[in-house]
Amino acid sequence: MSPSRVEVEIPPLKDLNIENITENVQLINSNTPDPRLKYVLERLVSHLHDFARETRLSTNEWMAGINFLTAVGQMCSDVRQEFILLSDTLGLSLLVDSIDHPKPPASTEGTVLGPFHTHDAEHEPAGTLISSDPDGVPCLVLCTVKDTAGRPISGVKIDIWETDSHGFYDVQRPDRNGPDGRTVMQSDREGVFWFKAVVPVPYAIPHDGPVGKMLKLLNRHPYRPSHMHFMFDKPGYDHLITALYLRDDPYESSDAVFGVKESLVVELTDVTPEQIKQYDCREDSKLITYDFVLVSDKEAKNLREANAMKAMKSLGRRMKLYKGLPVPEVD
Amino acid sequence: MSPSRVEVEIPPLKDLNIENITENVQLINSNTPDPRLKYVLERLVSHLHDFARETRLSTNEWMAGINFLTAVGQMCSDVRQEFILLSDTLGLSLLVDSIDHPKPPASTEGTVLGPFHTHDAEHEPAGTLISSDPDGVPCLVLCTVKDTAGRPISGVKIDIWETDSHGFYDVQRPDRNGPDGRTVMQSDREGVFWFKAVVPVPYAIPHDGPVGKMLKLLNRHPYRPSHMHFMFDKPGYDHLITALYLRDDPYESSDAVFGVKESLVVELTDVTPEQIKQYDCREDSKLITYDFVLVSDKEAKNLREANAMKAMKSLGRRMKLYKGLPVPEVD
């Protein structure tokens, strides 16, 4: 018997029925040597089976589910991730982000990544105009990034991406020949980063696929309120995926993917004559300003682990942490 | 307000967090006019979110899940259904069949359909040799089909399919040019149907895809014990999907898809000299005999609905039946 293996007695897997199948599937799955995989699978099978039992799921409904998930998978391509869209529209993405990236009160909240981030945007200097859209309303964006003690953080890598004025990301354009409406910047010694963009507009998430059909059956609209995405990365700080939303957007309180948080809603104002001169921007530019606050890796880890153990305790489970994630305490 | 619509107050969907996201997703989903879809989605979202909360699912694990499901969808083709394979290996398929096709004590139990049934098999007369495999051990199969009162049922359409002696279904052969190892027959006036086949052998479910990777991570083998599939169809009788398993197969008690039931395990015997003459079969033929018992639609419906209401009661839910399936009783 290998010490890295958890050996279990597997009873004969025969004559399984509504009542005994779950414990038997759990037993055969519990041969994995990875305690975290074992726990995640145990919870997955338990919920999957309870779902079928509590709904008395019919064979026709099961087949509809199989066909739906197959269609979701087959809709995925290099530029479209329909399973992320499904996760977003069921609220799972926001939930997982909230669990994995807890925020102490003074820090910037996270929100959904969405399916439109790419890895091909150019690193560009402060002040760059990130959108080539001739129809967009120009928008000056002035930001800082600090730590929870209020100290500027320099050298943070910031990914920024937004729609054009027609509500499309560059990857949704069949004639895309490079990044547009997206950039990568670094904060300077004062924690400042700034750029010129266009005012984002509301848009429908891709709804010509299976997720769109699901939303229609549920009488839900596919719209997201106007927003601009930001992703912050610097060793020592918890990875922050967030977005800024525009105040008074028609979809501010009914986002199809549940991303809006009051602390991330900003007023769109006009640039002042001084700003037009200082930042060399158009007179009709709108202005967004925001001060982002990053959490250190250590703060995030402590908070995540404390929250996890508190949640496990409230479930009445005797757990311990394994690589920072809960697994059952085994006698 | 349309009378077919359930109108609900949707609170502003903003500032959603680990604690409040589930109820808000439920509220926006509850706009669907279909009470069954509403209930199924409500249970789905509840279990999906509880799964994430109880595991404290990390972003990396979530992404691994997204990638896994995408790969499962993309592995599906006209001749391969990887999502059914996933459902089979997690015990969901057997569970759903047990819920949807309850069997009174005297009737033949059902089991998993599996991914290898096709719709192109020929209707053939009694006695047909269904396999062209020259390496197979010949096998005479003599069956009857009756109702729960013991009366023969004539005119039942019976789909039969099996592996060849190498453990492959015809659809797994790249050079397939038509059905082989499968047929469709009708029971005669005495409820009899019989045919010549080859002795089925154990085989591995397709494990070169994502489901195979999952089994490997779980230290599970991908084998199914030797079996022959049967599907029974006649108006007025509950659709029966079942299989016969061979006694003493090395995988009899560790079927990768949890399908074996003691009542479906048969002894493989030798044909008698009389049978060789009567059925004009080879002297080295093996013999399988089985008497199938179908449940009427009405018996199945009554039992399914009674089981559903009993299960709902034990969950403490106030439910009613809607098109034969449970939905919440609304005041």
Nearest to A237 by CA among A139, A104, A131: A104
Asked if A224 and A286 sit in the same domain, the reply is yes
Tell me whether residues A16 and B258 touch, CB distance under 8 A.
yes
Compute φ and ψ for A140, nearest 5 degrees: -90, 130
Asked if A102 and A249 sit in the same domain, the reply is yes
Q: How far is B311 from chain A (nearest CA, A)?
A: 8
The residue in chain A having the minimum alpha-carbon distance to the alpha carbon of residue B54 is A312
Asked if residue B91 is part of any domain, the answer here is: no
Asked if residue A144 is part of any domain, the answer here is: yes
pLDDT band at B1 (very low <50, low <70, confident <90, very high): very low
Asked if residue B282 is part of any domain, the answer here is: yes
Nearest CB to A253; choose among B12, B52, B254: B12
Asked if B173 and B33 sit in the same domain, the reply is no
CA A91 – CA A258 distance, rounded (Å): 6
Asked if A219 and A319 sit in the same domain, the reply is no
CA B146 – CA B152 distance, rounded (Å): 4
Tally of domains in chain B: 2
CA A175 – CA A13 distance, rounded (Å): 55
Asked if residue A75 is part of any domain, the answer here is: no
Asked if A147 and A288 sit in the same domain, the reply is yes
Asked if residue B109 is part of any domain, the answer here is: yes
Asked if residue A64 is part of any domain, the answer here is: no
Asked if residue B182 is part of any domain, the answer here is: yes
CA B161 – CA B182 distance, rounded (Å): 4
Nearest CB to A260; choose among B14, B43, B97: B14
Q: Which amino acid is at B148?
A: T
Asked if A173 and A191 sit in the same domain, the reply is yes
The token pair at B229 is 């599939």
Tell me whether residues B94 and A58 touch, CB distance under 8 A.
no
CATH number of domain containing B275: 2.60.130.10
CA A257 – CA A254 distance, rounded (Å): 9
Asked if residue A287 is part of any domain, the answer here is: yes
Give B-chain residues touching A28 at CB under 8 angstroms.
218, 220, 254
Question: Which ipTM score applies to this complex?
Answer: 0.92
Asked if A257 and A201 sit in the same domain, the reply is yes
Asked if A317 and A218 sit in the same domain, the reply is no
pLDDT tens for each residue of chain A, 331 residues long: 333 344 445 567 889 999 999 999 999 999 899 999 999 999 999 999 999 999 999 999 999 999 999 999 999 998 789 999 999 999 999 999 999 999 998 899 999 998 889 999 999 999 999 999 999 999 999 999 999 999 999 999 999 999 999 999 999 998 998 999 999 999 999 999 999 999 999 999 999 999 999 999 999 999 999 999 999 999 999 999 999 999 999 999 999 999 999 999 999 999 999 999 999 999 999 999 999 999 999 999 999 999 999 999 999 989 999 999 999 998 6
DSSP code at position B107: S
The whole domain housing B153 covers 105-295
3-state helix/strand/coil string of B238-270: CCEEEEEEECCCCCCCCCCCCCCCHHHEECCEE
Tell me whether residues B56 and A326 touch, CB distance under 8 A.
yes
Q: How far is B67 from chain A (nearest CA, A)?
A: 9
Asked if B175 and B247 sit in the same domain, the reply is yes
Nearest CB to A18; choose among B34, B55, B95: B95
Tens of pLDDT along B229-278? 999 999 999 999 999 999 999 999 999 999 999 999 999 999 999 999 99
CA B101 – CA A17 distance, rounded (Å): 11
Asked if A134 and A214 sit in the same domain, the reply is yes
Tell me whether residues A47 and B44 touch, CB distance under 8 A.
no
Asked if B273 and B217 sit in the same domain, the reply is yes
Asked if A157 and A179 sit in the same domain, the reply is yes
Mean pLDDT, rounded, of chain B: 94
Please tell me whether residue B233 adopts helix, strand or coil conformation: strand
